[in-house]
């Protein structure tokens, strides 16, 4: 079986200034990141349930798909793969961190990210080749690139490490008592303002909402979240590259609700 996974370390970056980059450079451990691609298994539907397994040095973190108020969102380029049509990510519930007063969202010490790969031709061999750009942080943040090259095993035997990660994905919002969801939009000078109203029981002491769009070229601000009884409201600005109002497909809206007590809910699509 062909298997190759390497990590490249480019220029060090920090959340502060260039002087801080230099002063912290000698503190970076040699084993800051170890990356493994787990081939996984073939599902009953013909997809391959694989995973990217990252092990970080103690105290180091990497980011969730929406990193919060600062951070480096992960990017995946599968263009070199063979017989892979697309990849669906099953992100486990992330942790919340406070860094110099900024809220970031990610994983400390380890991340097992299940990736469901859909073949172009069912039953034919699949080869995963990807370039993964991500950030790892302690006080210093390092943008890194992980290269994957692996022929995928046709086994149907499940990997318990991947299975455990799949059990940690956020709850569907409907199963947590969501009874209604409504989103409204209004044009602003450089894009659109989205307001979401979720009729949902309180999840915990420090609720907040993250809003994402399928189109990652659109910048989404940190949502301002408030609650009034059973109604959870969040407001975020959406700014496309041309900084103009645009037509928004509400089915492309993804809302994640963090409860502040370990509960995380997921909602895809928000009608008007």
Read off the pLDDT band of 41 (50, 70, 90): very high
What confidence score (pLDDT) does residue 17 get? 24
Give the span between the Cα atoms of 234 and 270, in whole angstroms. 12
171-172 and 264-268 beta bridge pairing: parallel
The vertex-228 CA angle with 222 and 231, nearest 5°, equals 75
Give the span between the Cα atoms of 59 and 57, in whole angstroms. 6
Give the span between the Cα atoms of 41 and 43, in whole angstroms. 6
Query: Residue 168: which of 128, 212, 110, 215 has the closest Cα?
Result: 110
Does the pLDDT value for residue 19 go beyond 70?
Answer: no
What class does CATH assign to 171-268?
mainly beta
What confidence score (pLDDT) does residue 9 get? 45
**DSSP three-state, residue 24:** helix
What confidence score (pLDDT) does residue 261 get? 77
Which residues does 199 contact at the CB level (< 8 Å), separation at least 6? 178, 179, 180, 181, 230, 231, 232
State which H helix or E strand residue 21 sits in.
Answer: helix 18-24
Query: Residue 13: which of 141, 149, 121, 160 has the closest Cα?
Result: 141
What confidence score (pLDDT) does residue 75 get? 94
| DSSP calls for 33-49 | EEEEEEEEEE-TTS-EE
Supply the pTM of this predicted model: 0.88
Please, are residues 43 and 35 in contact by the beta-carbon 8 Å criterion?
Answer: no
Same fold, 3-166 and 171-268: yes
Residues in the chain: 272
Share of the chain above pLDDT 90, in %: 78
Q: Encode pLDDT of 175-190 as tens digits.
A: 999 999 999 999 999 9
What confidence score (pLDDT) does residue 139 get? 79
Query: Residue 72: which of 99, 52, 39 has the closest Cα?
Result: 99
Does the pLDDT value for residue 136 go beyond 70?
Answer: yes
What confidence score (pLDDT) does residue 3 get? 44
What does the pLDDT average to over 250-254?
Answer: 96
What confidence score (pLDDT) does residue 28 get? 64
Share of the chain above pLDDT 70, in %: 89
**Domain layout of the chain by residue ranges:** 3-166, 171-268
What does the pLDDT average to over 40-46?
Answer: 96
What confidence score (pLDDT) does residue 205 get? 87
First and final C-alpha spacing in the chain: 50
Between residues 7 and 234, the one the model is more confident about: 234
What class does CATH assign to 3-166?
mainly beta
- What is the Cα 254 distance to its own chain's centre? 12
What does the pLDDT average to over 108-135?
Answer: 96
Backbone angles phi, psi at 155, to 5 degrees: -60, 155
Read off the pLDDT band of 27 (50, 70, 90): low
Average pLDDT of the chain, as a whole number: 88
What does the pLDDT average to over 245-264?
Answer: 93
Q: Encode pLDDT of 68-98 as tens digits.
A: 887 888 999 999 999 999 999 999 999 999 8
Give the span between the Cα atoms of 132 and 145, in whole angstroms. 5
Residue bearing tokens 């959870």: 232
Residue bearing tokens 């409204």: 184
């Amino acid at each position: 079986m062909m298997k190759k996974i390497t990590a490249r370390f480019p220029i060090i970056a920090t959340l502060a200034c260039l002087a801080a980059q230099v002063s912290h450079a000698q503190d970076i451990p040699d084993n800051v990141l170890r990356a493994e691609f787990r081939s996984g298994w073939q599902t009953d539907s013909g997809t391959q349930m694989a995973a990217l397994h990252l092990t970080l040095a103690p105290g180091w973190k990497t980011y969730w798909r929406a990193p919060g108020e600062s951070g480096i969102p992960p990017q995946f380029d599968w263009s070199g793969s063979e017989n892979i049509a697309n990849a669906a990510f099953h992100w486990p519930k992330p942790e919340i961190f406070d860094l110099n007063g900024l809220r970031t969202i990610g994983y400390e010490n380890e991340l097992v990210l299940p990736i469901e790969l859909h073949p172009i031709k069912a039953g034919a061999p699949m080869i995963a080749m990807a370039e993964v750009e991500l950030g790892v942080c302690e006080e210093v943040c390092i943008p890194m690139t992980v290269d994957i090259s692996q022929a995928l095993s046709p086994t149907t035997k499940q990997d318990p490490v991947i299975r455990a990660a799949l059990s940690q994905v956020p709850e569907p919002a409907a199963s947590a008592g969501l009874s209604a969801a409504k989103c409204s939009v209004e044009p602003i000078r450089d894009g659109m303002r989205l307001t979401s109203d979720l009729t949902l029981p309180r999840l915990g002491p420090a609720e907040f909402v993250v809003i994402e769009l399928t189109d990652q070229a659109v910048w989404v601000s940190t949502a301002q979240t408030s609650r009034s009884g059973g109604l959870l409201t969040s407001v975020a600005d959406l700014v496309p590259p041309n900084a103009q109002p645009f037509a928004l497909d509400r089915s492309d809206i993804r809302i994640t609700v963090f409860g502040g007590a370990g509960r995380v809910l997921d909602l895809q699509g928000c009608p008007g």
